[in-house]
């Protein structure tokens, strides 16, 4: 499978599947997940701000207050 990845064919499954498998494995094994809710929130804020910058064509500031939950 690694040879296929090097050829640029890509992963055999969608990224969401790998994320869910890792999350469920963390639950089964009693470990902390690789990404917690805060990481998900921060990724969502960054995505929304990036989309805003693309839509407006302007520089968008991301205030530190957006990272406080």
pLDDT along the chain (69 residues), means of 10: 60 86 94 88 92 96 85
Distance separating alpha carbons of residues 25 and 31, to the nearest angstrom: 8
Distance separating alpha carbons of residues 2 and 16, to the nearest angstrom: 19
8 burial type by CB count under 10 A (0-12 exposed, 13-18 middle, 19+ buried) = exposed
Distance separating alpha carbons of residues 47 and 41, to the nearest angstrom: 10
In terms of pTM, does the model score above 0.85? no
Question: What is the predicted pLDDT for the residue at 12?
Answer: 84
Question: What is the predicted pLDDT for the residue at 37?
Answer: 87
């Amino acid at each position: 499978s690694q040879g296929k990845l090097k050829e640029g064919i890509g992963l055999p499954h969608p990224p969401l599947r790998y994320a869910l498998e890792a999350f469920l494995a963390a639950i089964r094994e009693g470990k902390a997940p690789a990404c917690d809710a805060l990481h998900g929130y921060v990724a969502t804020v960054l995505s929304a701000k990036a989309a805003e910058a693309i839509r407006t064509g302007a520089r968008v500031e991301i205030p530190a207050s957006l990272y406080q939950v």
